[in-house]
Structure 1
Amino acid sequence: MREIVTLQLGNLSNYVATHFWNAQESYFTYAEDETSLVDHNIHWRPGIGEDGSETFLPRAVVYDLKGGFGPLKKVNPMYEVAPGQDAALASLWPGQPAVHRQTPLSQNTYQQALDAGLKPSALQASDVRYWSDYSRVYYHPKSLVQLYDFELNSSIMPFERFETGAELFESLDKEDEIVDRDWRPFVEECDQMQGVQVYASLDDAWGGFASSYIERLRDEHPKTCVWVWGVQSPVAGVPREKRRVRLANTALSLNSACAQASMVVPLGVPDGARAVPASIAVDSASPWHVSALLATATESASLQSRLRLGGGSSRPLGLSDMAECLNVSGRQTLANMRMGVGPHAVDAGERPEMDLSQIGSLKDGAGRLGSSGGGSERAFGRLSSVRRPEGARDESGDVTMTEQRPIIGSSVVRNHQTPLLYPLLDSFPSIYNYDLQGRESIPVHTTLTSDGSIVHRMRNLRTQVAPSISLEERENLVNGLAELGAAYEDEWSSGSDSGDDDL
């Protein structure tokens, strides 16, 4: 059934993925004469609840630190056992157990309204304390995995370095074999899994945890497509020393993930006043806002991997097809993301206005932030997705794709269009300042590209992080990033690598 199993690693990743699951939930249709364009069996798993009722829950494994789940219960109402009916407990102890419970966190009014079956009022940024505060879906109890070794936002034991995450994974895996315990049950339910979708933070300790986890997944599934959305927190207001730590984490995470994953797409809110269009208002201090922007991009770019066969597209692409379009040489496992939102975005041509591939920071001679540092912008592969309203399609129709390169050296291009717009739900913040009165969805244009700008992004990243990396790791990291950048060079851009000998 072309199933995709989602792995969520880290607090910001769970913020982004929560918007993703809310969007998937909105695609369900309940009238007999309605058929959704989305094949729900790809991301949702059927099951039986404790009371015998049928369930349909996300195919996901969700990790977070202690305190990261907020008021979300591990066991939802579908799987709660009625008091006095736990036969296993009664057989172990005939007496009455003494239960000591910590005072649970209170739900916000939004979740209370959802539980009561009422229409919730609009959410405000102050209402969202955790990613579970705006979640509209139930998860299977096995999906939620809390790691008690570290606490969210702890100042005593901060979970902020790549090495810390890698060490935590190794210790947990040695003790419990967490991949077999947490991951395998969801994979064994699949008939024909098309791939793995990973949401992971790159710039904190979750990058190290994710790198080790992906390496284990690759050992278990050597031919399965592993697609990684690597999210990064905004750096505005962050002290310089912590920025260096985050940058080093990002470099280490990319170096490791790109060696194991089929495709890695780094994502972050653009830095600088002019980088974000005036029509988009994102509060960089609010994970709810930041994740909403990133989720719009990831959900739109991957939409074709979950469409029904013959529904809105003559041939939907799978995750492997998407990766092959971008990885032309077999070594290009890193891609850039651009996005445009709103009615004007779908008519913007091949290049949406906003660059979400934030890797390090680049400054030109005037001290302004740049996007790629110049150089070749030649695309080896480009994957475009346009969510255009019905009746506003261009002359190319639903799907336009180049199946193979007519000439050696030319770009591989696949353009996909669908009338299914991005849903603007009551759980979604008002970050898009368009005329949205009464509008429940919005057009989106995304492009994923593997192009020559990655050479300069990697070169800049090496230059920035080399002084802050230990001597033992520096050579491997610098060489790894150099090889990653070299995969995007060609005869037009492979000039002298100035400054490399100084690293």
Structure 2
Amino acid sequence: MEFAKLMSAQIKKSKEAVPQPESDDKKYLKRSEIEAQRQAAYLAEQKAADDARRERKDKKRKLEEEEAEREIERKEKRRRLAEESKLRREAEDEEEERRRRKRLGLPDLPPKPKPGEDDGAPVPEEDDIEEEELVNKLRAINEPAVLFGETHKQRLKRYKKRVDANTLAAMMSDGPIPTTLQLVPEKEMLVDLKVPKDKEGRHLLFRQLASYFTMVLQEWDVTLAARPTDVKTSFQGKAAHNAMVQALENMRPLFKKMEKGDLEDGILEPVVEIVRAAQERRYVDANDGYLRLSIGKAAWPIGVTMESYFTYPPEPESAVNHDVSFRAGIAPDGSDTFTPRTLIYDLKGAFGSMRKVNALYEPEDDGNVGKSGVWPSKPIVQRSQPIPPSPYQTHLDAGLVPPPLNTSTVRYWSDYSRLYYHPKSLVQLSDFEVNDKLMAFEKWDVGLDLFEKLEREVDLVDRDLRPFVEECDGLQGLQIFTGVDDAWGGWASGWLERLRDEYGKLSIWTWGIGEQGGNTAVPRERRLQQIVNSSRSLHVLAEQSSVYIPMSNSPVKLPPYLTLDSSSPWHIGALQAVAMESMTIPVRLKSSNGRPGTLQDIEDSFNSTGKRRIAKLEMSVADPDVLAEKSEQRIAQAEKAGSTTSRPSEGDDELNRFDIDAFTKDYRITPSRPSKKEHIFGRAEASRGDWHIPEEGAGRDPRDGFNHGPALQRFSAPLLFPLLDSFPSIFDVGSGQANKVAVYSGLTTSTAVANQVRSIEQLVRRMAGLEERETLCDGLQTIAEEYDEGWDSGSDSDEDD
């Protein structure tokens, strides 16, 4: 029953869904009628779609036409605004040109012709030039033949403006430095080294110089302008721009003198030499010529005068390349100066009266001292009493002849210094004060701890050393001068390890200075501490340095012509400076034995194996006037004493002997076995003056692989060592005190190094602590074995001739 109801309900629903015919007369429709109805509905639908599509197209076309009209209006508005802006810029440029001409004293600009005025007015027949001839004349004066939109009259006026003498005198160039000199094309800028004497020739030379300087300045300006924005806004970028602006200002007087034609030959000839070298791309020669010109015109440019290696015209050019050890700078008056490429660390109060900011640089700004800040009350400023300068420095600053120095007037090393230093060269370690008894700077660990502390706070290499390194075109090496018998040995050890991380393969020479146990006047406890400090410095510095040269403050071997006060650091430092400076003179010469010398060249002479890094420093000093006679007497005495050996294969006795041994120290240790004859492995010698050194039997070349004698390389230079008025009177050679002395120095690796190292190792074994004794003593033994005769680390047997 329920099923029947559901079925009837479904049938009724389906009947209601069937569309009923419009007319009650027809209950049934034909299939053709249904198809006709469907087609009619379809056509109606398509027509409605076409009408909608057509309506949309019409609406879109109307919108496009309206947008086009608005675009035309916008273009017209932009054109009108651009024209107004152009007119405004032209008016501003014209006003600026009027102000510039008024400032330079030139006549005012002529009034502008009205539009079409030039074209309409006829050209007088006597002033007119045929078109073809006018084009040829314009090309002859390096002018464009035809400009865009230019009429014949405008072209004629442009030509007359260029060639008219009256107009030319008032015409200024549009370069960085405006000038009335007519600039020449680039192909005519090459100057002749011979300065002409006639007026026309000099005027042409001035035009060539002005053209070349204008071209260089324009290229400089374009290069700086092409840099990225971040580079321009950086410190280096602003410094480069300021350098260009300073160059422009400094060259304006030169242009004025060339315009007037009154540039004297003393300046014109060096300028021509500089420009010719630059045009031939000999930039080093151009720089040297510029330095000679600028130094010759500056007053006391580097703090030293004619006694130094710097020469001034008309003196002959020095053989020393001062750029190796000195860096260029600019004094407050704009003149060029030079300061040493050095970095000096010292304790508080050790600089004496030397100021960090000297006369070559701007004084420090103390304007904020005493001004109110965040504190409500005025701060109390306490200043330490400054150390008064010595009379020697006072006279130097005043330009007077300084009084002679003596051991009583020399308190600090700055008392006899004749140099100005860059402010970044002087670094004060304020944690310790010189001669402080409570916090003495004596133990090796104290120096190392101080270095590690500062290194954690700031990268010392980046802050202190890198600015000097980045100024060098080619870095051949570094030289470190340090005390090794106090805390400075630990400080230098920390620096060397840091430098090896930064510059792994760079030549680093370390000059170790100190008593190293040799001075018996020092109390016993302190002397023992010095020996321990020296041994620890030797262990680290000899391993990290390319060359380690110990220098004793009280050498055992001294000649009779040397009067040395061992208690005066002034005397000791002067003697060490003579030896060190003479030994390294080859690296600063422009040529040595026909080629430039480097630290690596000297190092290869005595360290052929790469493991004998400790060298002993020796030298001899003589008066150059009696040098030849003294050399002959020395050779005759040596032959008479029978010191010449009959075994030239070894070569030890063939080498010259020195008068001063700055390496040997008396450790007062009785050797357990008789000392053997010293055997020399290699030597580098540097002579200053005519020493008449014999060449026969002198040894082998360091590049020779066969071991048939000591490796020997000699460097010679005729340049003598100058004794300035700040140098102590410690040499009495020849006929009396000389102004210059001849020096013969050498660095030698020999078995004497092994004896010295073993002597200090025996002392340290009894004094060093238990924790470091084994490592330190084993390291010293390993170093000593490298200098034993016949030792070869690459073989199992040490039996060797």
> Comparing 322-331 with 212-221, which one deviates more in the overlay?
322-331
**Contact 1:373–1:457 (8 Å) recurs in 2:** no
The structure with the larger Rg is: 2
Local SS of the residue matching 2:480: strand
Query: Larger deviation: 282-291 or 427-436?
Result: 427-436
The one of 458, 461, 478 aligned to 2:777 = 478
Match status 1:241 vs 2:521 = no
Query: CA distance change for structure 1 residues 82 and 143 in 2, over 3 Å: closer, same or farther?
Result: closer
What is the aligned partner in structure 1 of residue 477 from structure 2? 195
Q: Which has the higher strand share?
A: 1
Equivalent runs, 1:125-144 vs 2, <5 Å: 125-144=407-426
8 A contact 1:270–1:355 mirrored in 2: no
Structure 1 residue identity aligned to 2:485:
D
The reply on whether 1:383 has 2:667 as its aligned counterpart is no
Residue 13 (structure 1) aligns with: none
Amino acid at match of 1:352: F
Secondary structure of 1:477's counterpart equals helix
For 1:306, give the aligned amino acid. Answer: R
Tell me, in whole angstroms, the C-alpha distance in 2 between the residues paired with 1:329 and 1:373. Answer: 27
- Are positions 1:357 and 2:663 aligned together? yes
Residue identity in the other structure for 1:200:
T
| Secondary structure of 1:483's aligned partner | helix
- CA separation in 2, counterparts of 1:184 and 1:24? 32
Unaligned runs of 5+ in 1: 3-20, 366-371, 498-503
Rounded to whole Å, the distance in 2 between the matches of 1:403 and 1:170 is: 39
Aligned to 2:459, which of 177, 185, 202? 177
* Pair 334,48 (structure 1): closer, same or farther in 2 beyond 3 Å: same
Q: Does 1:292 align with 2:574?
A: yes
Match among 397, 401, 410 for residue 119 of structure 1: 401
State how far apart, in whole Å, the 2-side matches of 1:119 and 1:436 are.
26
* CA offset digits 1:411-454 (Å, max 9, x no partner): 21011222111111100000112246573111111111111121
- Corresponding residue SS for 2:432: strand
Q: State the alpha-carbon separation in 2 of the partners of residues 240 and 461 from structure 1.
A: 15
- In the TM superposition, residue 403 of structure 1 has moved relative to its aligned partner by 5.0
- Sequence identity percentage: 39
Q: Counterpart in 2 of 1:334?
A: 614
- Amino acid aligned to 1:331: K
Distance change in 2, residues 1:264/1:161 (3 Å): same
TM-superposed CA distance for 1:214, in Å, is 0.8
1:469 to 747, 752, 768: 768
1:315 and 1:336 mapped to 2: Cα distance?
26
Contact 2:700/2:709 (<8 A) preserved? no
Amino acid at match of 1:249: N
Aligned partner of 2:336 among 34, 45, 54: 54
Q: For the residues of structure 2 that align with 1:230 and 1:97, how far apart are their CA atoms?
A: 46
Give the whole-Å Cα distance in 2 for the aligned partners of 1:455 and 1:197. 24
SS class of match (2:778):
helix
1:320 corresponds to? 600
Identify the residue that residue 28 of structure 1 maps to in structure 2: 310
Q: Distance in 2 between matches of 1:68 and 1:373?
A: 45
Aligned mates of 1:462, 1:131 — CA distance in 2: 33
Closer, same or farther: CA 394–356 of 1 in aligned 2, 3 Å: closer
C-alpha RMSD of the superposition = 3.4
Instruction: Supply the distance in 2 between the matched residues of 1:480 and 1:24 (Cα, whole angstroms).
Output: 48
The 2-side partners of 1:58 and 1:373 are apart by 47
Secondary structure, in 3 states, of the residue corresponding to 1:75?
coil
Change (3 A) 1:359 1:181: farther
User: Alignment partner of 1:443: what SS?
Assistant: strand
1:458 aligns with 2:757: yes
Amino acid at match of 1:105: I
Whether the aligned pair in 2 keeps the contact of 1:401 and 1:415 (CA below 8 Å) is no
- 1:346–1:445 Cα contact (<8 Å) kept: no
CA distance in 1, matches of 2:344, 2:524: 31
Q: Deviations over 1:143-200 (max 9, x none)?
A: 0000011111111111111111111111111112222211111111111100001101
SS of equivalent residue, structure 1 residue 229: strand
TM-score using structure 1 length: 0.84
**Alpha-carbon deviations, 1:196-253, whole Å to 9, x = none?**
0110111111000001101101111111100111111362410111111111111100
Distance 1:454 1:49, change over 3 A: same
1:250 has 2:534 as partner: yes
Aligned to 1:8: none
In 2: Cα distance, 1:244 partner to 1:30 partner = 51
The residue number in structure 2 matching 1:263 is 547
1:148 alignment partner, SS class: strand
Distance 1:231 1:52 in 2: 39
- SS in structure 2 opposite 1:125? coil
Gaps of 5+ in 2: 1-282, 285-302, 635-654
Cα distance, 1:261–1:406 mapped onto 2, change above 3 Å? closer
- Return the TM-score normalized by structure 2: 0.54
- The yes-or-no answer on 1:209 pairing with 2:491 is yes
1:375·1:493 contact (CA, 8 Å) conserved in 2? no
Q: Is the 8 A contact 1:325 1:382 kept in 2?
A: yes
Q: How many corresponding residue pairs?
A: 465
| 2:718 maps to which of 400, 419, 423 | 419
CA contact (8 A) 1:204 1:249 kept: yes
